[in-house]
Structure 1
Amino acid sequence: MITMAEFFSGRSTETVTRDLLGKLLRYRSPKGLVSGYIVEAEAYLGAADSAAHAYQGRRTKANDALYGAPGNIYIYTSRGYYAFDIAAQSEGEPQGILIRGVEPKDGLSIMMANRPKTGSELTNGPGKLMQAFGVNDLHWNNTMLDDSPFSIDLQDSRMPVKIVSSARIGVSKRGGQTNAPYRYYVAGNPFVSGMRKRDMDFETHGWQEVK
């Protein structure tokens, strides 16, 4: 059984981001267990990435969690919403992965109470999924996954039929990385942010058949 440390070890942030698709993100919230399969995530490549919070080595109290070991949680606010990011490289190398969308599995009633929406609108965006999970503060920021109520289950997972890469959403237009194809998502999954209805696969949600 692979551990989280082995999952991250020696691999590029882009590769890890792709491989997170289909893995189960869990949060043991004060109201109960909530979880969802990751369907969309973005890679941020640190000091050399003009769209990253640590561009040119910027380090502040707000983004310090990015400089932690692989699996360190980086929770931050954007446009009044909270977002969930994970440090992806060795300590001191501030590359991270933003979880942008999940397909709900456990705790649907809890999530709908936290965020009174139905269907894909419940968790099809980074702020939406955090609201649905009931995360509305920075309490678990700069905490390792293993020391938090969050976890990523590498065994309970789905396999995408197709993974699509594209430019990231809502990133800085400075520098040359604005349109870099570091956003990865499960083709056809309704819980991908901005997915057009005509592109949604309502039958399989873009997952391979479980045999």
Structure 2
Amino acid sequence: MSTPTTSNDAPRSSRWLMALPLVVFAALAAIFWFRLGDGDPSRLPSALIGHPAPQTRLPPLEGLANGGAPVPGLDPSVFKGKVSLVNVWASWCVPCHDEAPLLTELGHDKRLQVVGINYKDSAENARRFLGRYGNPFGVVGVDANGRASIEWGVYGVPETFIVGREGTILYKLVGPVTPDNINTTLRAEIDKALKAGS
């Protein structure tokens, strides 16, 4: 007469295989935790630093004007010969509202041009956002489907890039411009870009 098998009789190797995905996940989580250090998202690396800005053309934000003239969309040629601050933003992005007055302040610096990439937004909401805070952008390209932002290596809005006179990405800030990082980091990176090649 045979005895029924129980779950305790299952081979140890099959139990190990069932636990393997959990072990792999824990190992990957530990690697990411230690690689990112203090968890500061603005310290995430960018593979695009030192490379040309993406050559993506984006249409203008419909109905956006400055001084009666329509604000142009993004043409990659705008990066040649000028230091540019490129900000990826959206009206639905809460941190974008916090950083908007600081970007408007940076927009007064005539040594550089401020370029906006409006990410997955409606034209009406984007115009309302700029009407509320002021428009720091001399150029606004609409990235309706998010493809251009992928080419820029965007993790999520807001993100800000500094592009040098040769059209090369020199710096990337992940997350919002804040009163702290605008003075401790961003202005220093802008000054460094302005001095390079001058």
TM-score range normalised by the length of the shorter chain: under 0.3
Q: Which has the higher helix share?
A: 2
TM value normalised by structure 1: 0.26
Larger Rg belongs to: 2
TM value normalised by structure 2: 0.27
